[in-house]
């Protein structure tokens, strides 16, 4: 198969499938999508997401801010937590990232791809929690809105920029690392983030 026959988006989807599914099995995600979801479950998910994205955006600050494809998450998550009266938790240590263009596109693939599910999450939480959810849902609403249009720009950039197997491989590494990083944080820190992020008393 020649490089021009390879669809990088399809390869990314296939190679990240297991990591994606693993993240969906973590307690915070399962509770968020459960029929019995409560506001505390939403708070815990926002808390952990804030920790991860604040760490990621600090580690890849210049590269991410320079990309028109990446929409900053930490600010919106911080606003949602503050509106809920919660202390902003500390940033997670996401390690060192290689600022390689292909790997960065993999990061963007995972993060911006998650926005496609934000509208589904927003609809689910509104159905289960109703008006009481209020500002807790603003994050999902913000990134779920017009997500498909933005996603098409991401897909176009991936297909134009990832032209050979080596570049696609580095993109897959970046994409999987985001899934794995969130999975590790959600599994490791859920025990103390659940109670300590409930009210403005002690940060995670």
pLDDT at 156 over 90: yes
Q: How far apart are CA 117 and CA 109, in angstroms?
A: 13
Residues 6+ apart with CB under 8 A from 6: 165, 168
Confidence of residue 202 (pLDDT cuts 50, 70, 90): very low
Q: How far apart are CA 68 and CA 173, in angstroms?
A: 21
pLDDT at 14 over 80: yes
Q: How far apart are CA 189 and CA 41, in angstroms?
A: 14
Computed over every residue of the chain, the mean pLDDT equals 90
Instruction: Output the pTM of the full model.
Output: 0.90
**Average pLDDT of the segment spanning 54-59:** 96
Q: How far apart are CA 27 and CA 186, in angstroms?
A: 7
Query: Which is nearest to 163 in space by CA: 8, 53, 1?
Result: 8
Q: How far apart are CA 53 and CA 86, in angstroms?
A: 17
CA angle 82, 83, 88 (to 5 degrees): 15
Burial class of residue 87 in the structure, from the number of CB atoms within 10 Å of its CB (0-12 exposed, 13-18 middle, 19+ buried): middle
Domains and CATH numbers, the chain: 3-196 (1.20.910.10)
Confidence of residue 198 (pLDDT cuts 50, 70, 90): low
How many Cβ atoms from other residues are within 10 Å of residue 141's Cβ?
Answer: 17
- Pick the more confident residue, 203 or 14: 14
Q: Per mean pLDDT, which range of 102-106, 135-139, 149-153, 177-181 is the poorest?
A: 135-139
């Amino acid at each position: 198969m020649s490089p021009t026959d390879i669809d990088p988006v399809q390869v990314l989807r296939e190679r990240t499938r297991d990591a994606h599914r693993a993240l969906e099995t973590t307690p915070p995600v399962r509770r968020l999508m459960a029929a019995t979801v409560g506001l505390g479950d939403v708070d815990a998910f926002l808390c952990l997401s804030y920790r991860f994205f604040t760490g990621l955006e600090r580690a890849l600050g210049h590269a991410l801010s320079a990309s028109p494809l990446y929409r900053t998450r930490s600010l919106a998550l911080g606003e949602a937590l503050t509106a809920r009266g919660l202390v902003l938790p500390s940033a997670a240590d996401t390690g060192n990232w290689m600022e390689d263009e292909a790997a960065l596109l993999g990061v963007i693939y995972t993060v911006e791809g998650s926005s496609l599910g934000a509208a589904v999450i927003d609809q689910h939480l509104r159905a289960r929690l109703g008006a009481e959810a209020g500002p807790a849902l603003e994050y999902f609403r913000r990134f779920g809105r017009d997500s498909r249009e933005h996603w098409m720009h991401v897909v176009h950039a991936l297909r134009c920029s990832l032209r050979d197997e080596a570049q696609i491989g580095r993109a897959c590494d970046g994409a999987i690392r985001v899934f794995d990083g969130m999975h590790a944080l959600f599994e490791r820190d859920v025990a103390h983030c659940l109670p300590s992020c409930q009210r403005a008393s002690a940060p995670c």
